[in-house]
Amino acid sequence: MHTVEQMLDTYPKDLGGIDRAKLTECIQACFECAQTCTACADACLSEDKVADLTQCIRANLDCADICTTTGSALSRHTGYDANVTRALLEACATACTSCGDSCEQHASMHEHCRICAEACRRCERACRELISSLT
């Protein structure tokens, strides 16, 4: 059992109608994507033609920040506001789409961009699936 799931199980109040599996998956995907985007930005900075990767680096860093914020907010349940959660999930999915698209442009040349694009796609899917399950 992953610690995200363990922590959700220890929450002393009812989580309401939220799908725990989708919530767990989304939190995990957000933090994984944030780490992957951070590492990809760093790897891009080490490439010989770093100037060609400026937009990719920016997309990586923006996506990492948004994923971290979303994962953190999803980890808090006291005083839950569905409108804020939905807006964060939409922003995260959008950032992941943008970053994934940017990384895919470089995926054939840079393995770190290929891996990052895949992590972005997983996080985008997890966000959209959680959005669709919210009541």
pLDDT digits (tens, 9 = 90+) for 30-73: 999 999 999 999 999 999 999 999 999 999 999 999 999 999 99
d(CA 79, CA 110): 43
Chain mean position to CA 55: 18
Q: Rounded to the nearest 10 degrees, what angle do helices 20-46 and 111-133 cross at?
A: 160
Total number of domains constituting the chain: 1
Q: Which two tokens stand for residue 40?
A: 């990809």
pLDDT digits (tens, 9 = 90+) for 1-40: 678 888 777 676 776 778 889 999 999 999 999 999 999 9
pTM of the model: 0.93
Range of the domain at 101: 19-133
State the CATH number of the domain containing residue 123: 1.20.1270.360
Q: Is residue 8 part of a domain?
A: no
d(CA 134, CA 93): 15
pLDDT digits (tens, 9 = 90+) for 76-124: 887 778 899 999 999 999 999 999 999 999 999 999 999 999 999 999 9
